[in-house]
Amino acid sequence: MKRVALGLMFCTMTASAAEVFTLSSPDFSDNALLDKKFAGNAEGKPACTGEGISPALSWSNPPAGTKSYALTLVDTVGAKGIGVNHMVAYNIPAQRSMFARGELTKGKDYTGGKNTPGTLHYYGPCPPSGSGAHHYIFTLIATDLAPDALPQGLTREELIGKLKGHALGAAGLVGRFGND
């Protein structure tokens, strides 16, 4: 009897854990260092030492009723604590469950919002030399909005305002990068 009860309890715990909305990447583990190829490569900016390629991202178990996703990438300590928005992407259809490596850099298959540098696509990490490893927070938000509901060019703050009352859940992933 104990063996059956323990087996049922294990199955229940496993089923519950499988339903968690998750964001992951084959290119890095949560809170691990990002490879240099994912760093920014803006001309004339010495802190942008990478190739500007976006990492691959995938997600599973979205909340019921999800119609679209929004994806942001923020360095909360960048710009001396003011924060830097590296990517604002939204109107991502619910049928989608991943972006391949480099896709977010191209600015296709999503509506681009305006990041801090002023572009509408992925802008890789460019922390100043000597500032340590910054934390780059990828946040995927499931929404009940149609995948064409929001106009292009929203800032992260404008996007968050539009998502109030429409967010169904979120999943996050942290990558670290430094130029030390």
Domain CATH for 52: 3.90.280.10
Name the residue among 29, 25, 84 with its Cα closest to residue 55: 25
pLDDT at 180: 79
Which pTM was predicted? 0.89
Q: Please choose, from the candidates 5, 129, 123, the residue with its C-alpha nearest in 3D space to the C-alpha of residue 75.
A: 123
Contact between residue 89 and residue 71 where contact means Cβ atoms under 8 Å apart: yes
Geometric angle at alpha carbon 73, from 118 and 70, rounded to 5°:
95
Is 8 inside any structural domain?
no
Residue 13 domain-assigned (yes or no) = no
Are the C-beta atoms of 103 and 109 separated by less than 8 Å?
Answer: yes
Q: Is residue 1 part of a domain?
A: no
Whether residue 3 lies inside any domain: the answer is no
Q: Examine residue 15 and state whether it is found in any structural domain, yes or no.
A: no
53 falls within a domain:
yes
Close Cβ partners of 20 (under 8 Å, ≥ 6 residues apart): 61
Compute the distance between CA of residue 57 and CA of residue 101 in angstroms, rounded to an integer.
Answer: 8
Q: Say if 2 falls within a structural domain.
A: no
Structural domain of residue 106, as residue ranges?
Answer: 20-177
Whole-number pLDDT of residue 14: 47
Tokens of 53: 């390629």
Whether 117 maps to a domain, the answer reads yes
Q: In this predicted structure, what is the pLDDT of residue 46? A: 87
Q: What is the pLDDT of residue 45?
A: 87
- CA distance linking residue 133 with residue 176, whole number of Å: 6
* The predicted structure's pLDDT at residue 1: 46
Q: What is the pLDDT of residues 29-63, one digit of tens each?
A: 999 999 999 999 988 888 898 999 999 999 999 99
Number of domains the chain contains:
1
What the block records as the tokens of 110 is 């999503």
pLDDT given at position 13: 47
Q: Output the CA angle 36-42-48, nearest 5 degrees.
A: 40
Regions of the chain with pLDDT less than 50: 1-17
The pLDDT of residue 23 is: 98
pLDDT for 18? 52
